[in-house]
Structure 1
Amino acid sequence: MASAEDANGKVNLLEDNRIDSGVESFQYFTKDDPYNKPVRDSTSESSEARDKCSSNTEERLDSAYGSSSLTVENFSEIIEGCNISESEDDSAKNTAFEHKENLLTNITEDGDTLLHLAIIHEDEHFAHQLIQMFPKDVLDIQNNLYQTPLHLASYLNLSSVVRDLVESGASLELQDQEGNTPLHMACEQGWVECATEMIRNVSSSKLAPVLESQNWRGLTSLHLATVNRQHRLMKLLMKKGADLNIQEGTSGKTPLHMAVELHDIVSMTLLLNKGADVDVPMFNGCTPLHLAVGRQDAAIANLLCQSGADKMLRNIEDETALDLAGGNDDILALFPFDDIQIQGRSVVRVPF
């Protein structure tokens, strides 16, 4: 069983593709973990070290997260070749229009539009110009990795571009090759401003499917915000109506289960204060209290008990949380004998 201090508390929820991960099944991973795959096929880098326009990259027109595939010179030439001004001469105007249309609708062999490339290179001014010129359908073009311009802007924390895309009608529901929506990307990276721009003016009916959307690991945006200890994002999603008891798709963990496994009292308190169900079971029947006791975490178990957790619920192994205490006196103290009932009547310990 891994410790809570490992690698910023991030979680590998793909363990053995099982849906019945038990009390000891939760794993953490580090950046060096071979199972901690980056969202894209390029090496993940820090925002400071990321060189979006490295001249050492291959001459490919793709758009990997965290890296650039065009040199600065090549991209500058493309921008210079894109004449977006109007000509007074009709023939020249027609020629310029055909040239502009060709550039704006051109798609690379990797599926990227010029807007994808402008965002990759963080040329926000040019990206804003293109957004105003592109019709909505073009804004939602997905490249070969199923990324829209909004996915890339969310990943790169370009909040003004995100705002412009959303105001122009870009879809929030499209998923990339990992099943992530743009909101997933913002929550995973911790970009509060991007997430705010995406959902601030969206009606509840249109936002509901976005908040409920699961990526291919079964995680919603709230799960990702919880796993990454993004408390501001958790508050934002809760305010917009995210389901606090939604279960991820592999083992049925709710955000509260994840917070318990991370020993994250702040996240637990946020969830419980907003009304999260303290007794929701996983697919294997384990409640958050089962997980806390199984990890010998008396402080977390006590918080759950104080929040009204049912101590007598059984998992599919027919175990109560008390059965998992393992002789831990601090945890056993949470289960006084007068909590035990036989035929609905409390059994009180008689002192010798």
Structure 2
Amino acid sequence: MTKMNEDEVPNSTCSDANTHFVQQNRFLSDVDHSTMNVDSFNQINYFSDHGRCVMTETTGYGTEQYPDTASMFSRVDKMMSYRESQRDINNLCEQLDSVEMIDDCSKERFNEPQSFKGNHGNHVAANIDASRIYLRDKDGDTLLHTAIILRDETLAMMFIGKAPSNTWLSFTNVLFQTPLHLSVLTDQPKVTRRLIVAGAEVDKRDKDGNTALHIACRQGQYKNVQNLLEPVRYHETKQNSYDIPYQTIPQDVSIKNYEGLTCLHLAASHGHLDIVSMLLDKDIDVNLKEGKTGRTILHNACLTCDLNQVKLLLRHRSCNINARTFCNV
């Protein structure tokens, strides 16, 4: 990680943050000044001022990555300079704890937000329109990303319902995480299922090449895996205000992450036999090979002397006990 000095982090509102990080959950940038009135501005400031200060590694970010919404992302500096004097949020991060949003964060590191508890907070959130909710900050996060990180299920559901189309639900941050990745990382099955029903792309990859199903299998999240394998039913789509395009669910389970591992390999290597059984019941090929070594999960179970897993695999008649690795072993 490259160390940065204070000069490289302009306008930071976290006075006590490490120089390794920049603030993520701050007032959303790149708002078109001409489309925003004072009331709308104050609503967003209310959300931003009472959110958590979430930190990520410093990474360059530009709206040119998202040409479909680039029209909303203009004149940042004008907007900030025009309103800076009217709203002081410099003490926000001095009062609240910060967390680093990385792929293997334990769920205990995410704190429940207190700012939108009660009727007033919910009223303010309900009146923020979609164009504000789905604006990205410098780290690529929308308010939906942040609500999921902070485990506020009510807000997350509200924001999902305000999406104008399914494509808005798959916006990625600088770590290439979609809201679906984050709902799995934070183990929120209801939010995961709602995103799938609303048309979020299930096969999007994060910076490590993992889909949401890879993460759920690795972490042993039975309910999330179940949600990601279950096709969307017609009655579920009635929650949406738009038609969702067809996508294959379950996803292509032969997809490998950048370590060459499939979802099946991740579940098996972490000892989640209930998830291995669920995957095999969905007719997933038990003989899938790792991308680097060519090993099947039977190879790995034998190497680790996992007798229970070996017995489970040998119950499947399609399991090839003569499979060879790339080293012809």
TM over 0.5: yes
The one-letter code matched in structure 1 to 2:181 is: H
TM-score by length of 2: 0.60
Q: Which residue of 2 aligns with 1:108?
A: 137
Q: 1:146 aligns with which of 162, 176, 179?
A: 176
| CA 187–103 in structure 1, closer or farther in 2 if over 3 Å, else same | same
Matches within 5 A, 1:14-93: 55-57=96-98, 63-65=101-103, 66=105, 72=113, 80=121, 83=124, 85=126
The higher radius of gyration belongs to: 1
Q: 1:262 aligns with which of 278, 289, 304?
A: 304
1:122 maps to 2:151: yes
1:189 maps to 2:230: no
Describe the SS at the equivalent of 1:260.
Answer: helix
Q: Which residue of 2 aligns with 1:313?
A: none
Are the counterparts in 2 of residues 82 and 103 from structure 1 also a CA contact under 8 Å? no
Deviations along 1:120-144, one digit per CA (max 9) or x if unpaired, are: 0100111111111112111111110
The one-letter code matched in structure 1 to 2:326 is: F
Are the counterparts in 1 of residues 287 and 296 from structure 2 also a CA contact under 8 Å? yes
Q: Which residue of 1 aligns with 2:188?
A: 158
- Cα distance, 1:207 vs structure 2: 4.0
Aligned partners of 1:72 and 1:198: how far apart in 2? Answer: 27
Q: Which residue of 1 aligns with 2:283?
A: 241
Are the counterparts in 2 of residues 150 and 182 from structure 1 also a CA contact under 8 Å? yes
- Cα distance, 1:83 vs structure 2: 3.4
- Cα distance, 1:192 vs structure 2: 0.4
The one-letter code matched in structure 1 to 2:102 is: A
Aligned partners of 1:71 and 1:57: how far apart in 2? Answer: 12
Unaligned runs of 5+ in 1: 1-39, 42-53, 86-95, 287-352
Structure 1 runs (4+) deviating above 6 angstroms are: 67-71, 73-76
Matches within 5 A, 1:182-221: 182-201=212-231, 206-207=248-249, 209-221=251-263
Q: Which residue of 1 aligns with 2:161?
A: 132
Describe the SS at the equivalent of 2:204.
Answer: coil
Aligned partners of 1:283 and 1:248: how far apart in 2? Answer: 9
Aligned partners of 2:113 and 2:187: how far apart in 1? Answer: 20
The one-letter code matched in structure 2 to 1:56 is: D
Q: Percent identity?
A: 30
Instruction: Select between 173-182 and 134-143 the one with higher mean Cα deviation.
Output: 134-143
Describe the SS at the equivalent of 1:83.
Answer: helix
The one-letter code matched in structure 2 to 1:64 is: I
1:228 maps to 2:270: yes
TM-score by length of 1: 0.56
Deviations along 1:243-301, one digit per CA (max 9) or x if unpaired, are: 11111100101111111111111111111111310000000111xxxxxxxxxxxxxxx
Deviations along 1:198-229, one digit per CA (max 9) or x if unpaired, are: 112269x9246531110000000000011001
- Number of equivalent positions: 219
Deviations along 1:68-124, one digit per CA (max 9) or x if unpaired, are: 699946787xx9497355xxxxxxxxxx6xx52342122111101111111101001
